[in-house]
Amino acid sequence: MASVAPLPDLDFPGHDKFVAAIDQAVSLGDEHAITASLRNAMCALIRDPDVRLPDCVFEAIDDHYARRELYRSARHGYSVVAMTWGPGQGTPIHDHSGLWCVEGVWDGELEITQYELIERDGDRFRFRAAGGMHAGPGSAGSLIPPHEYHTIANASARAVAVSLHIYQAQMECCSKFFPQSGEWFLRADSTLSTDQAA
């Protein structure tokens, strides 16, 4: 019988309070109620002096933004990933493989731009920017498919930013969209990996 890898569960100050707040929100059932409750919970957790993320999440990686899975719920299935954005690091337009997500800025500042899908022709997608925000510590937002297309970037030339992402389930892949001409982008499948969390 093959052994099953243990679910990630990194210990850090306030861990139990952190997990209890998320568990309470995800037990609501309806995705709109869940994400609304998670946004409020995340804002409160970011400001809670009892909760401190592991030191590793504040360490940027030079050649890519870091994805460190901190916790995965065996009971509810959700996954919590901390992302560390070095100066100038960001994403192309991407989706979340049909999973809802709540994202919050833990430290630093991020630029988030949402995109509306206008039309599709095979693997060619036409997007139009549908709004953006400059997000600082303590802010949180949610993405519910089909309104999941967005970019995230650390526009700072010097400071590292840290964001926390709670996904409906472990997100192992997504689609990324690369510019062609005008509003047209070409879709590419992307496998997502995680960096060591310690």
pTM of the model: 0.92
How much is the average pLDDT of 159-168?
97
Top-level CATH class of 15-191?
A: mainly beta
**Residue 8's pLDDT is what?**
65
Amino acid at 147: H
Apex CA 6: angle with CA 166 and CA 103, to 5°? 10
CA distance 110 to 42: 16
Average pLDDT over residues 116-145: 94
Question: What digits encode the pLDDT tens for the residues 2-41?
Answer: 444 455 677 899 999 999 999 999 998 789 999 999 999 9
pLDDT in tens, 64-100: 999 999 999 999 999 999 999 999 999 999 999 999 9
What pLDDT does 4 receive?
43
Distances (CA, A) of 41 to 13, 51, 56, 69, 191: 17, 12, 23, 19, 29
The pLDDT-based confidence of 142 (bands split at 50, 70, 90) is very high
**What mean pLDDT is reported for the chain?**
92
Rounded Cα distance between 122 and 70, Å, is 36
pLDDT at 2: 42
